[in-house]
């Protein structure tokens, strides 16, 4: 596995990391035994970036990683995130919100360390920026955790270029995590150039379009109960039907190479620059082994041009998020 660098701090990781959200039921029922085997398999084959968050399964994901991988802690770079919270909603329901208060960040870090069975978090992200708290205050609290030796590097997720620069002025930002793939190319306009300028790694989550670019989701019947995509605008019946045409170019490139659409889609992401470190969500060993082969798949200039033309910015039908989640992105 080739390595890439997380910003300017000297932390090197595998070119493809492991996103663990799916191991906590976000894409249908979780399989604890398979998740454990996948985590071990990832380290065995050279994956050295493990990505989680305190909100994944409301702590379940961090606890899983802590229980399974703490004996192998020296073998990987541990990234986790904080900021998402659930608050009381109308009629006794729960509403999604964010909390970037310094005191909450400090207490959340302590809780994550306990669940992860770790003494230090290698990369600690602010999962979303709190509109009620200046980002300088949130990053200041995270910088304090670095000074205390509880965190090695700081990251941000789904922020605007302006916010990224404000945060970087307070403390060096090592990584920006945002959704980026063939069907989500908006970061190319501003935040990716800013990352290149400032020496910040860009960490694409959902580089396979939440599974769509693999060709595995061609209709609503393939979305299981409890799957996060059931309520996502891009996976409505109408939008799925419109988006299916996008897969034709992927297939036309993958077939002659003996590759899969997922491998071609990941290879395209990797081709966008050495500062990109995608973290596809993988909860099965079979998906892990398939996706990691993309690191050795070098697409030709003609193939890259075909993909760029087939997937221009804005090509996907449907918004990335429902309005209640979208309002927290890009601040």
pLDDT of residue 319: 94
SS3 state at 296: helix
- Placement of tokens 């997720």 in the chain: 157
Tokens linked to 149: 């030796």
* Per-10-residue mean pLDDT, the chain, length 331: 92 98 88 97 98 96 98 98 84 81 98 98 97 97 98 98 98 98 96 98 97 93 89 94 93 96 98 97 95 96 97 94 84 83
pLDDT of residue 285: 96
pLDDT of residue 29: 83
pLDDT digits (tens, 9 = 90+) for 45-100: 999 999 999 999 999 999 999 999 999 999 999 999 999 998 776 776 677 899 99
Residues annotated catalytic, as ranges: 56
Distances (CA, A) of 126 to 80, 153, 163, 288: 9, 11, 12, 27
Burial of 74 (0-12, 13-18, 19+ CB in 10 A): exposed
* CA-derived radius of gyration, the chain: 19
- Placement of tokens 């769509």 in the chain: 212
pLDDT digits (tens, 9 = 90+) for 93-118: 677 899 999 999 999 999 999 999 99
What's this model's pTM, rounded to 2 decimal places? 0.95
> Alpha-carbon distance 208 to 143, whole Å?
32
Task: Write down how long the chain is.
Answer: 331
CB 200 within 8 A of CB 125: no
DSSP at 237? H
Q: In this prediction, what percent of the chain has a pLDDT beyond 90?
A: 89
Burial of 98 (0-12, 13-18, 19+ CB in 10 A): buried
Tokens linked to 23: 């191991």
Domain ranges for the chain, please list them.
3-326
> Alpha-carbon distance 328 to 173, whole Å?
20
- Bridge-based pairing of strands 84-88 and 77-82 is unpaired
What is 3-326's CATH number, 3.20.20.100, 3.30.70.100, 1.10.540.10, 3.30.470.30? 3.20.20.100
Q: Which helix (H) or strand (E) holds 140?
A: helix 135-147
pLDDT of residue 92: 67
């Amino acid at each position: 596995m080739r390595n890439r660098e997380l910003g300017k701090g000297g932390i090197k990781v595998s070119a493809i990391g492991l996103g663990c959200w799916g191991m906590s039921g976000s894409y249908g029922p979780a399989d604890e035994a398979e998740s454990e085997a996948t985590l071990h398999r990832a380290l065995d084959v050279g994956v050295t970036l493990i990505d989680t968050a305190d909100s994944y399964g409301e702590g379940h994901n961090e606890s899983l990683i802590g229980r399974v991988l703490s004996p192998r802690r020296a073998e990987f770079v541990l990234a986790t995130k904080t900021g998402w919270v659930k608050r009381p909603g109308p009629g006794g329901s729960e509403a999604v919100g964010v909390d970037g208060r310094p005191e909450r960040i400090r207490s959340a870090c302590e809780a994550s360390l306990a669940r992860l069975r770790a003494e230090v978090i290698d990369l600690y992200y602010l999962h979303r920026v709190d509109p009620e708290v200046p980002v300088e205050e949130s990053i200041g609290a995270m910088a304090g955790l670095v000074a205390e030796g509880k965190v090695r590097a700081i990251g941000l997720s789904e922020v605007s270029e302006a916010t990224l620069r404000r945060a970087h002025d307070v403390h060096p930002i090592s990584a920006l995590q945002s959704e980026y793939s063939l069907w989500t190319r908006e970061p190319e306009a501003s935040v990716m150039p800013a990352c290149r300028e400032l020496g910040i790694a860009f960490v694409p989550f959902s580089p396979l379009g939440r599974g769509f670019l693999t060709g595995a989701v061609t209709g609503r019947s393939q979305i299981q109960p409890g799957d996060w995509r059931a309520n996502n605008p891009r996976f409505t019946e109408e939008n799925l039907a419109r988006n299916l045409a996008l897969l034709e170019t992927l297939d036309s490139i993958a077939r002659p190479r003996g590759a899969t659409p997922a491998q071609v889609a990941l290879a395209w992401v990797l081709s966008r620059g050495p500062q990109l470190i995608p973290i596809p969500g993988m909860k099965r060993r079979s998906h892990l082994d398939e996706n990691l082969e993309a690191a050795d798949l070098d697409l030709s200039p003609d193939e890259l041009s075909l993909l760029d033309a087939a997937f221009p910015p804005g090509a996907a039908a449907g918004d990335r998020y429902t309005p209640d989640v979208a309002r927290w992105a890009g601040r």
